Amino acid sequence: MSKVLLMDPDLANKIAAGEVVEKVVSVVKELVENAIDAQATEIKIELVDSGVKEIIVTDDGIGMDKEDAVLCFSRHATSKLKALEDLFNIESLGFRGEALPSIASVSNTTLTTNDGKETTNVVIDGGKIVSVKASDAPKGTKIRVKNLFYNTPVRLKYLKNLYVELANVVEYVDKIALSYPNIRFSLYNNEKNLLNTDGSGNLLKVISKIYGVDVAKKMIPISGSNGDYTITGFISYPEKARSNRNAMTTFVNNRLIRNNDLNKVITDAYHTYIPASKFPIVVLNIEVDPLLIDINIHPTKMDIKFSKMDTLKELLEKLILEKLEHRNLIPTLEAKEETKREESSEILKKIIIANEETSQEEDNNYNRLEEMQLDFDVCEEEVPLYNPNAVDVTKKERIKKMYPVGLALGTYIIAENEDGLYMIDQHAAAERINYEKYLKKMGTHDNHMQDLLIPLKIELSNTDYLILKEKMDKLRDLNFEIEEFGINTILVRSHPYWLPEYALEEAIRKIIDIVISEKEFDPYKFTEKIAITLACKMSIKANDHIEMVAMEDLLDRLRETENPFTCPHGRPTIITYSKYELEKLFMRSMEK
Share of the chain above pLDDT 90, in %: 38
pLDDT of res. 9:
58
Average pLDDT of the segment spanning 269-274: 91
Q: State the first-to-last Cα distance of the chain, in angstroms, to the nearest integer.
A: 88
Residues 6 or more apart whose CB falls under 8 angstroms from that of 197 comprise: 177, 181, 183, 184, 185, 186, 205, 206, 209
- Give 336's pLDDT tier (boundaries 50, 70, 90): low
CA 215 to each of CA 150, 218, 248, 311: distance values in angstroms, whole numbers, following the listed order = 41, 5, 14, 30
Which is more confidently placed, 320 or 485?
320
Is there a domain that residue 194 lies in?
Answer: no
Q: Report the chain's mean pLDDT, rounded to a whole number.
A: 79
Cα 325 from Cα 316, distance rounded (Å): 14
Q: Give the pLDDT confidence of 103-142 residue by residue, as tens digits.
A: 888 889 999 999 999 999 999 998 889 999 998 899 999 9
Q: Do residues 14 and 150 share a domain?
A: yes
- pLDDT exceeds cutoff 80 at 69: yes
Share of the chain above pLDDT 70, in %: 77
- pLDDT exceeds cutoff 90 at 471: no
Average pLDDT of the segment spanning 181-201: 94
- We report the CATH number of the domain holding residue 15 as 3.30.565.10
Residue that terminates a domain, selected from 126, 159, 192: 159
What one-character DSSP code corresponds to residue 238?
Answer: G
Q: Do residues 508 and 447 share a domain?
A: yes
Is there a domain that residue 309 lies in?
Answer: yes
Average pLDDT of the segment spanning 379-394: 41
pLDDT of res. 376:
29
Sign of CA dihedral 56, 57, 63, 68: negative
Is there a domain that residue 358 lies in?
Answer: no
Which is more confidently placed, 300 or 565?
565
- We report the CATH number of the domain holding residue 263 as 3.30.230.10
- Give 294's pLDDT tier (boundaries 50, 70, 90): low
- Give 523's pLDDT tier (boundaries 50, 70, 90): low
pLDDT of res. 27:
92
Average pLDDT of the segment spanning 419-444: 87
Q: Do residues 521 and 422 share a domain?
A: yes
pLDDT of res. 359:
40
Contact assessment for residue 282 and residue 259, using Cβ atoms and an 8 Å cutoff: no
pLDDT of res. 529:
78
Q: Give the pLDDT confidence of 476-519 residue by residue, as tens digits.
A: 877 788 888 888 888 888 888 777 676 778 778 888 888 887 76
Which is more confidently placed, 70 or 522?
70
pLDDT of res. 207:
94
Is there a domain that residue 283 lies in?
Answer: yes
Q: Do residues 555 and 412 share a domain?
A: yes
Q: Do residues 435 and 318 share a domain?
A: no
Is there a domain that residue 231 lies in?
Answer: yes
Cα 413 from Cα 336, distance rounded (Å): 25
Q: Do residues 147 and 261 share a domain?
A: no
Is there a domain that residue 101 lies in?
Answer: yes
Residue that terminates a domain, selected from 324, 352, 383: 324
Q: Do residues 155 and 260 share a domain?
A: no
pLDDT of res. 382:
42
Q: Do residues 102 and 33 share a domain?
A: yes
Is there a domain that residue 462 lies in?
Answer: yes
Q: Do residues 459 and 528 share a domain?
A: yes
Q: Do residues 72 and 218 share a domain?
A: no
Question: How would you classify the pairing of strands 54-59 and 42-48?
Answer: antiparallel
Cα 20 from Cα 569, distance rounded (Å): 42
Residue that terminates a domain, selected from 308, 324, 340: 324
Is there a domain that residue 170 lies in?
Answer: no
Q: Do residues 212 and 146 share a domain?
A: no
Which is more confidently placed, 345 or 456?
456
Instruction: Give the residue numbers spanning the domain of 307.
Output: 203-324
- pLDDT exceeds cutoff 50 at 83: no
Contact assessment for residue 174 and residue 195, using Cβ atoms and an 8 Å cutoff: yes
Which is more confidently placed, 159 or 310?
310
Q: Do residues 219 and 295 share a domain?
A: yes
Predicted structure pTM score:
0.73
Q: Give the pLDDT confidence of 42-51 residue by residue, as tens digits.
A: 999 999 999 9
Number of structural domains (the chain) is 3
The helix-helix angle for 360-372 and 342-355 (nearest 10°) equals 170
- pLDDT exceeds cutoff 90 at 573: yes
- We report the CATH number of the domain holding residue 439 as 3.30.1370.100
Which is more confidently placed, 243 or 474?
243
- pLDDT exceeds cutoff 80 at 17: no
- Give 152's pLDDT tier (boundaries 50, 70, 90): confident
- pLDDT exceeds cutoff 70 at 371: no
